[in-house]
A and B are shown apart, each in its own frame.
Chain A
Amino acid sequence: KAGVTQTPRYLIKTRGQQVTLSCSPISGHRSVSWYQQTPGQGLQFLFEYFSETQRNKGNFPGRFSGRQFSNSRSEMNVSTLELGDSALYLCASSSGDRTHTDTQYFGPGTRLTVL
């Protein structure tokens, strides 16, 4: 099976712009989660989608949003970019069958740089 894919791999934007990142989960996986990784804050959960519905959300401002399509592919959007949004954004997919034993598989990430 193909793994989780994320596009683009690298992105450079300027403050105030908006950006959309894309994630294609492993075939058959219905749950997609997004994480932000920075040197200062480490790995932080952004949100999770399951069956096109946002199920959980981390502690991020409303500028961060996402959606999931009927084929389980997901996008996340960041509006009004700030310098602090520079990070590696990771997408993870899981089967969605169970909560406590479900295993997340990660994509290679999108490296966003905000200038």
Chain B
Amino acid sequence: GNSVTQMEGPVTLSEEAFLTINCTYTATGYPSLFWYVQYPGEGLQLLLKATKADDKGSNKGFEATYRKETTSFHLEKGSVQVSDSAVYFCALPLEGRRALTFGSGTRLQVQP
């Protein structure tokens, strides 16, 4: 079935550093891919999504490109801020369902 593997954290960066969080997936067909972010004490917020191969999702300076060839959907940001400190989850639908399967989450800590 569909699954996603995400790089382990925590990732600690200085403010204005470049961020990459790796995500690879296994899927039947070409489902949509998602990145969600969870701030302390909160639920998940949709960060960005891509619905087909070569699509680039973007939001708040974050980007991720749906790579069919490498089955990847890596999250990037050119210059992180302290306010980006959170846990990031890569996700895709379970096969034939709306419900999602998630990666294990990557905690990002940005230091001033």
Which residue numbers of A lie inside 8 Å of B, CB to CB? 4, 6, 31, 33, 42-43, 45, 48, 50, 55-56, 58, 90, 92, 94, 96, 99-109
Majority SS at the chain A contact face:
strand
Contacts A42-B105, A100-B93: A106 and B98 contacting too (C-beta < 8 A)?
Answer: no
One of B43, B51, B104, B105 near A109 (C-beta < 8 A): B43
Contact A94 B98 (CB under 8 A): yes
Interface size class, chain B: 20 to 34
Inter-chain CA distance A56–B93, complex, in Å, is 12
Inter-chain CA distance A92–B102, complex, in Å, is 14
Contacts A100-B32, A103-B49, A106-B36: A33 and B99 contacting too (C-beta < 8 A)?
Answer: yes
Is B45 an interface residue when CB atoms closer than 8 A count as contact?
yes
What are 8 sample pairs from A and B whose C-beta atoms fall under 8 A apart? Answer: A33-B98, A43-B89, A45-B101, A100-B93, A103-B32, A106-B36, A106-B44, A109-B43
Contact A56 B44 (CB under 8 A): no
Number of A-B contacts defined by CB within 8 Å: 67
Contacts of B112 in A (CB 8 A): none
Is B34 an interface residue when CB atoms closer than 8 A count as contact?
yes
Inter-chain CA distance A26–B21, complex, in Å, is 30
Inter-chain CA distance A107–B98, complex, in Å, is 16
